[in-house]
């Protein structure tokens, strides 16, 4: 009887060990990513107003170039026009610097680099306006800009950063409608939750033919963790959470969402073993739609 019991215990321990090994080796491959549709990569619109956003994903970040390429390749869009990404205000800090660059951490005016936790962004842009179906938008200019670890935007006279150009830049979408940026986790300033501004434009010669603008938000629990670390801790914990932010909880400018439009604008964030973050977001827009006034 004791021998039978001993063999059962050994078998159970072996089974548990195998499960643990499997859990620690799960990673993203191109095949797995290809089976992930757009809806699963975006947070649900049914998140409550008090939500801090989707929790960190348990899936590991890509570690090889092949896996990175899989993340950066957009998949067929199965969404409808009702799923379009809501627009939000441009805000007072957009400066059209026309800096075509993927890594926006440096300041070309003096060569300095912004200190902070690295954040890599992969953004896919899809359009309903070309033929009525949802297809990748090629050749669009995608700008992003946000505050540094101390809550300051560059090139703003009131902030004492006039002439600086850190944490600003644009990229042009490739054949997959995709752009990538390397930046830092954003800081905060009084009265606003942590966010990243995004603008998508299509240009015909020197004239813009389409302009879509919004803001992207980050999970409050991740933001709190980040702001306990240097250099963010010098500025303290943010004074405004997502659910307390008037723009996050308000309606979208285009009338798509009547309240809590920020719940449709949450970055899907993953953390790697080095403490850096990868953020993924899919923008679904209609280039044939009349654009709201900013």
Does residue 225 surpass a pLDDT of 90? yes
pLDDT of residue 146: 98
- pLDDT-based confidence at 79, cuts 50/70/90? confident
The lowest-confidence range among 14-23, 172-181, 223-232 is 14-23
Q: Residues 108-153: pLDDT tens digits?
A: 999 999 999 999 999 999 998 766 788 999 999 999 999 999 999 9
pLDDT of residue 61: 47
What's the mean pLDDT in 88-98? 96
What pTM, to 2 d.p., does this model score?
A: 0.78
pLDDT of residue 74: 53
Does residue 279 surpass a pLDDT of 80? yes
Q: Residues 169-205: pLDDT tens digits?
A: 999 999 999 999 999 999 999 999 999 999 999 877 6
Q: Where are the domains of the chain?
A: 2-285
What average pLDDT does the chain have? 81
DSSP code per residue over the chain: -HHHHHHHHHHHHHHHHHHHHHHHH----HHHHHT--HHHHS--TT--TT---SPPPSSPPP-SHHHHHHHTS-------GGGPPPP----TT------B-SB--B-TTT--B--S-EEEEEEEEEESTTTSS-EE-TT-EEEEE---TTS--SS-GGGT-TT--TTEEEEE--TTSEEEEEEE-----TT--SEEEEEEEEEETTEEEEEEEEEEE--HHHHHHHTTSTTGGGT-S-S--GGG-HHHHS--TTSS-SS-GGGGSB-EEEE-TTS-EEEEEEEEE-TTSPPPP-
- pLDDT-based confidence at 40, cuts 50/70/90? very low
**Is-contact 143 209, C-beta < 8 A?**
no
Does residue 267 surpass a pLDDT of 50? yes
What's the mean pLDDT in 78-93? 90
What does CATH list as the number for 2-285?
2.60.130.10
């Amino acid at each position: 009887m004791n021998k039978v019991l001993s063999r059962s215990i050994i078998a159970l321990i072996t089974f548990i060990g195998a499960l643990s090994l499997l859990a620690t080796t799960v990673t993203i491959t191109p095949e797995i990513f290809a089976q992930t549709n757009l809806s699963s990569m975006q947070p649900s619109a049914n998140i409550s107003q008090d939500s801090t956003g989707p929790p960190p994903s348990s899936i590991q970040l890509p570690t090889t170039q092949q896996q990175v390429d899989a993340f950066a390749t957009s998949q067929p869009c199965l969404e409808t026009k009702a799923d379009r990404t809501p627009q939000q205000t441009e805000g007072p800090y957009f400066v059209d610097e026309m800096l075509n660059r993927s890594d926006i951490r440096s300041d070309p005016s003096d060569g300095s680099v912004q200190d902070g936790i690295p954040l890599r962004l992969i953004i896919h842009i899809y359009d309903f306006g070309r033929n009525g179906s949802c297809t990748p938008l090629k050749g669009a200019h995608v700008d992003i800009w946000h505050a540094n670890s101390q809550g300051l935007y560059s090139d703003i006279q009131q902030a004492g950063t006039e002439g600086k150009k850190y944490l600003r830049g644009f990229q042009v979408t490739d054949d997959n409608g995709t752009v990538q940026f390397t930046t830092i986790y954003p800081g905060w300033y009084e009265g606003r939750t942590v966010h990243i501004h995004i603008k998508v434009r299509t240009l015909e010669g020197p004239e813009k033919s389409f302009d879509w603008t919004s803001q992207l938000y980050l999970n409050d629990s991740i933001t709190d963790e980040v702001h306990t670390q240097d250099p963010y801790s010098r500025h303290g914990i943010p004074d405004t959470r997502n659910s307390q932010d008037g723009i996050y909880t308000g309606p979208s400018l285009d009338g798509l969402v009547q309240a809590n439009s920020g719940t449709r604008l949450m970055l899907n964030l993953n953390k790697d073993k080095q403490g850096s973050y990868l953020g993924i977001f899919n923008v679904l827009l209609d280039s044939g739609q009349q654009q709201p006034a900013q």
